[in-house]
Amino acid sequence: MDEKKPRRWSQQVTETSFALDLEAGVFTWDDPAAIARSLAASAEASTRRKASPFQSAMSMLNFYINRAGRKLPSERRAILEAAKDELRRLYGRSAPNRPQTR
């Protein structure tokens, strides 16, 4: 039992996700609408996903944001958060109710 876990399991998940075949570098793009369209197209085309296309696309985007954590620059986080809004728009979903911050 000498098998070692990959050091960067999150990178492996992103690259080899069983549910979605992502376009290379999709999370590095600067256009939130293009990111959302790409994720939606990947989710729609997938025959291996277990959830709805919207849920699969949003889950992959959230996974990337969450795994990057504090290392994700604020500019990149803003683009990816805008991509979430674009995904919601593409699927006719409304934004979740967020508590007001002071």
Residue ranges per structural domain of the chain? 24-90
Percent of the chain residues past pLDDT 70, beyond the cut: 75
Beta-carbon neighbour count of residue 80 at 10 Å?
20
Within 10-100, strands assigned E span none
Whose structure tokens read 């007001």? 100
Residue 54 to residue 43: CA distance in whole angstroms: 7
What DSSP state is assigned to residue 24?
A: T
What pTM was computed for the model? 0.75
pLDDT of the residue at 85 = 95
pLDDT at 3: 62
Question: What is the C-alpha to C-alpha distance for residues 77 and 23, in angstroms, rounded to an integer?
Answer: 19
Please give the pLDDT value at position 51: 82
pLDDT, tens digit (0-9, with 9 covering 90-100), for 52-93: 899 989 998 998 898 888 888 999 999 999 999 999 999 998
Q: DSSP secondary-structure letter at 48?
A: S
Q: Is 22's pLDDT higher than 90?
A: no
